[in-house]
Chain A
Amino acid sequence: QVQLVESGGGVVQPGRSLRLSCATSGFDFSSYDMHWVRQVPGTGLEWVALISYDGTFKNYVDSVRGRFTISRDNSKDTLYLQMNSLRAEDTAVFYCARGRDGYSDSWGQGTLVSVSS
C-alpha cells in the first residue's frame, strides 16, 4: 500500500538549517507531484511547497520562499525539504503528501521541527 515516511525533524536553533526527507513506497513516485504541508501543534494546516513529478516545477508559500527548497530523487523514491535560516515560527509538524491534481490523497505521519534557542 501507499506509504510515506518523513524523517529529519528535531530541535534546531534559530538561523540554522535542517533537511527533511520523505521516503515513499507502494506507488510510482516518479509519476506524482508531491507536497509539504505543516501544522503548528494545536492549530491548522498550512501548505508549504509543491514539486512536480519530474522536478521541473516548484512553488512555495511566501513565508518560506527563499529559505526552503523542495527537491526529489526519483531514483530513490524520496522527497526532500531543505530548510535554511529557520525561525521560531517555523516550529511545526511537517507532513509530506502525495499530490493528485493539486489536492493530497496520501499523507505521511509527520516529523516535528522545533526551532528554539
Chain B
Amino acid sequence: DIQMTQSPSSLSASAGDRVTITCRASQDISNYLAWYQQKPGKVPKVLIYAASTLQSGVPSRFSGSGSGTDFTLTISSLQPEDVATYYCQKYSSAPPYTFGQGTKLEIK
C-alpha cells in the first residue's frame, strides 16, 4: 500500500506568516491528492483536491501544489482562524485512500 508522510508533524507560526506543509507519497499518485482542515472539536473539511484545485468557498490564501510523490499546502498569510490540524489524503487508483498523519498548526 502507498504510504503518505507529512512534515512537520506540528508547527507554530505568527499571524501573517507564510506557512508550508509537505506531504510525500511512497509511490507516484499523479495529482490524486486532497488536503483537509480539521479545527479543534470539528469535522474535517476539504480544502484542496486534485493537488491544486481549491474547493468552493475556501479562502484564496490556501493553495496546493505538486504531483507524483511530493506535494505542498501553503497558507499565504496565516490567520488566527487557521489554527487546525491539516491532513493530506491520496485517492489514486485503488483503495486504501490513506491519510497522512496530520500537521498541527498553532499560532505563536
Q: Which A residues are closer than 8 A to B by beta carbons?
A: 35, 37, 44-47, 50, 59-62, 95, 100-105, 107-110
Interface string of B84-107 (1 = CB under 8 A from A): 010101011011111111100000
State whether A110 and B43 are in contact (beta carbons under 8 Å apart), knowing that A47-B99, A101-B91 are contacts in the complex.
yes
State whether A44 and B87 are in contact (beta carbons under 8 Å apart), knowing that A103-B34, A105-B55 are contacts in the complex.
yes
A108 to B42, CA, bound (A): 10
State whether A103 and B46 are in contact (beta carbons under 8 Å apart), knowing that A45-B87, A45-B99, A50-B97 are contacts in the complex.
yes
Q: Which B residues are closer than 8 A to A by beta carbons?
A: 1, 32, 34, 36, 38, 43-46, 49, 55, 85, 87, 89, 91-92, 94-102
| Chain A, Cβ-Cβ closest to B36 | A45
| Chain A, Cβ-Cβ closest to B94 | A59
User: Cβ of B95: which chain A residues have Cβ within 8 Å of it?
Assistant: 47, 50, 59-61
- CB proximity of B6 to chain A, nearest CB, Å: 9
- CB proximity of A7 to chain B, nearest CB, Å: 15
A102-B46 in contact (CB<8A): no
Interface of A is mostly: strand
A107-B99 in contact (CB<8A): no
If A45-B36, A105-B49, A107-B45 are given as contacts, then 13 extra A-B residue pairs at C-beta distance below 8 Å, sorted by A number, are A37-B44, A44-B87, A45-B44, A47-B89, A47-B98, A61-B96, A101-B91, A102-B91, A102-B92, A102-B97, A103-B91, A104-B44, A108-B43
A101 to B102, CA, bound (A): 22
User: Cβ of A101: which chain B residues have Cβ within 8 Å of it?
Assistant: 49, 91
B89-A107 in contact (CB<8A): no
A95-B99 in contact (CB<8A): no
- CB proximity of A97 to chain B, nearest CB, Å: 8
User: Cβ of B97: which chain A residues have Cβ within 8 Å of it?
Assistant: 35, 47, 50, 102-103
User: Cβ of A59: which chain B residues have Cβ within 8 Å of it?
Assistant: 94-96
- CB proximity of A50 to chain B, nearest CB, Å: 5
Partner of A107, one of B43, B49, B96, B102: B43
